């Protein structure tokens, strides 16, 4: 699914704005994050050494805001009937994902963010860390390291394996 969404962004936005801007926008988005950003970067011909910092910055930019404000934002959104089911679903998903993180919070969060699978990444990791009320410095470092791990893995996949095609 990530590949098809990334391909859509590359084909659609790539016609109107610079390739690097598309990579940055994709890296900011939940689900896609740096995984999708690196796929888009490869599809749009962005050099790997230019793509990596763009993807990492795009992926990390929302993280402090999620860690600091998501619980307050969710609380406010629940006051409106139209948003309540969506927020409750996100909270359930975050808590379900957080159950795997509780034992070894730091290592668990780092690996959860770092292993590039659907439903994992900085956004979900930040949500889980916030719901678990992890120390913000500890959670931030674990997420940063996880994003670096995911970036290395996806660089190899996107530029190594896709480069062979």
Report CA-CA distances (Å) from 157 to 13, 44, 53, 82: 23, 16, 17, 40
Distance CA 109, CA 105 (A): 6
**pLDDT tens by residue, 34-66:** 999 999 999 899 999 999 999 999 999 999 999
What stretches in the chain show pLDDT beneath 70? 1-2, 97-103, 161-165
For residue 55, how many other CB atoms are within 10 A of its CB? 31
- Predicted confidence at residue 26, as pLDDT, reads 93
Instruction: At 130, list the tokens.
Output: 């916030």
Run of H or E residues at 124 = helix 122-131
- Residue 11, pLDDT score: 81
């Amino acid at each position: 699914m990530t590949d098809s969404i990334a391909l859509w962004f590359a084909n659609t936005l790539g016609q109107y704005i610079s390739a690097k801007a598309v990579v940055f926008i994709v890296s900011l988005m939940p689900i896609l994050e740096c995984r999708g950003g690196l796929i888009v970067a490869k599809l749009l011909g962005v050099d790997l050494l230019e793509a990596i910092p763009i993807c990492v910055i795009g992926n990390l930019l929302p993280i402090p805001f999620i860690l600091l404000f998501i619980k307050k934002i969710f609380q406010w959104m629940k006051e409106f009937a139209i948003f309540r089911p969506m927020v409750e679903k996100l909270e359930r998903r975050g808590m379900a994902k957080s159950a795997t993180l509780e034992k070894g919070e730091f290592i668990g969060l780092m690996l959860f963010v770092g292993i590039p699978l659907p439903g994992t990444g900085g956004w979900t990791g930040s949500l889980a860390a916030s719901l678990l009320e992890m120390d913000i410095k500890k959670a931030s470092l674990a997420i940063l390291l996880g994003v670096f791990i995911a970036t290395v893995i996806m660089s190899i996949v996107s530029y190594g394996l896709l480069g062979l095609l």
